[in-house]
Structure 1
């Protein structure tokens, strides 16, 4: 494999995974809850509009936007109900994204470093990884949007994840599924891979600078050493 093969994860010093929609199959559940809740509060949106406006962003950013539109009290209520209803939905239905456990096993065997960079809270990220059996793959190598001033689509979260690992962002690859996430990964100077198994349209992910792929099995780990070794 060469540097022209972005899907070869062995070409990088660090693989940074988004959590929701990439590691855990939570985005569809979340968007359904968001759409229903917003309608109850007086802001009707299509599924596509919810995805475009909120997917990949932090809870704080969503609450602020709802507050700007419907009032601060409604925004705060939205945040409370969203956490409550999503927690129940995850308890009932959350699973690892197809192919992720096998991919993480292969990366571990190959000695490719990995971490998580998510818009979720530390508690929420941990709960989802535990529930889906993925927590042991990452240990404490997790970064949350609450640790940075600006969440996705800003580059801050990915720069933080790279800094924690002692990695040059230019030698990192980010696996994302949202336009906000891909935008932030590109702005951070990393290679952005856009997973097509979630909800964001392929054209928008590619326009943001992501290399689109359909299945986790499309991500390769070459038998050769990384570049520079």
Structure 2
């Protein structure tokens, strides 16, 4: 194994949440008078913490989102997760393999701890991620594309950044991993390869991941 720690993004890598959450986000922003298509949401917000939504809307429109925006958005997303969320194809097999081989891994997500827990309970991935392996943008001052979250995860796991590899599917996440001085494998299941500039390697099937780590 070339790496001492595998750091997974969550949304779109381990759980199939990006279509659900971006559909809801686009609809809610449009409802509030900020017309946003599903494609717009993927382009602008995929892989980002919710503060980026506030920042971009304010920058583009000069208007602030409602004070309860985060709560309403999370309520709608969590309800949809309970109905629809599934693990990404191949996620269980990869986690079984890493765990069986004794490879250290963790999760570093732009989502809140509550969002991560809700998704993992629904998909059964909670058995693979104890609390000490889960890190959220809530834990640091700045979310992706800043490197803070990945550096925090590595520090908590006791591994130097240069010995970590990040598995990411968003441009912001790839930027964050590169800024952290980590290798990054770009997952192209939902994201066009040309948008993951900076990734060391690209792959489209989670089952290929283990071979890429060797």
More deviation in 210-219 or 90-99? 210-219
Tell me which residue corresponds to 2:189: 197
How much is the aligned-residue C-alpha RMSD, in angstroms? 1.8
Q: Distance in 1 between matches of 2:192 and 2:95?
A: 25
The correspondence for 2:158, drawn from 158, 166, 189, is: 166
The correspondence for 1:146, drawn from 138, 142, 156, is: 138
**Does the C-alpha gap of structure 1 residues 208 and 46 become closer, same or farther in structure 2, counting only changes over 3 Å?**
farther
Tell me which residue corresponds to 2:36: 45
Q: Does 1:180 align with 2:134?
A: no
TM-score, normalization: structure 2? 0.92
Q: Distance in 2 between matches of 1:186 and 1:89?
A: 32
Q: Distance in 2 between matches of 1:76 and 1:222?
A: 44
CA deviations 1:72-95 (Å, max 9, x no partner) are 2x3434323211211111010001
Q: CA shift at 1:21, angstroms? A: 0.7
Tell me which residue corresponds to 1:121: 112
Q: CA shift at 1:40, angstroms? A: 1.1
CA deviations 1:142-187 (Å, max 9, x no partner) are 1110111111000000000100111011111101110000110011
Q: Distance in 1 between matches of 2:4 and 2:32?
A: 45
Q: What SS is found at the alignment partner of 1:212?
A: strand
More deviation in 146-155 or 41-50? 41-50
Q: Does 1:81 align with 2:77?
A: no
Q: Distance in 2 between matches of 1:166 and 1:15?
A: 12
Judge conservation of contact 1:177–1:196 (CA < 8 Å) in 2.
yes
Q: Does 1:93 align with 2:60?
A: no
Number of residue-to-residue matches in the alignment: 212
TM-score, normalization: structure 1? 0.86
Q: Which runs of 5+ in 2 are unaligned?
A: none
Q: What SS is found at the alignment partner of 2:167?
A: strand
Judge conservation of contact 2:78–2:118 (CA < 8 Å) in 1.
no
Query: Which contiguous aligned blocks of 4+ residues in structure 1 show a shift greater than 6 angstroms?
Result: none
Q: What SS is found at the alignment partner of 2:103?
A: coil
Tell me which residue corresponds to 2:210: 220
Q: Which runs of 5+ in 1 are unaligned?
A: 1-9
Q: CA shift at 1:211, angstroms? A: 2.0
Q: Distance in 2 between matches of 1:41 and 1:208?
A: 35
Q: Distance in 2 between matches of 1:209 and 1:158?
A: 15
Tell me which residue corresponds to 2:47: 56
More deviation in 148-157 or 49-58? 49-58
Q: Distance in 2 between matches of 1:222 and 1:103?
A: 12
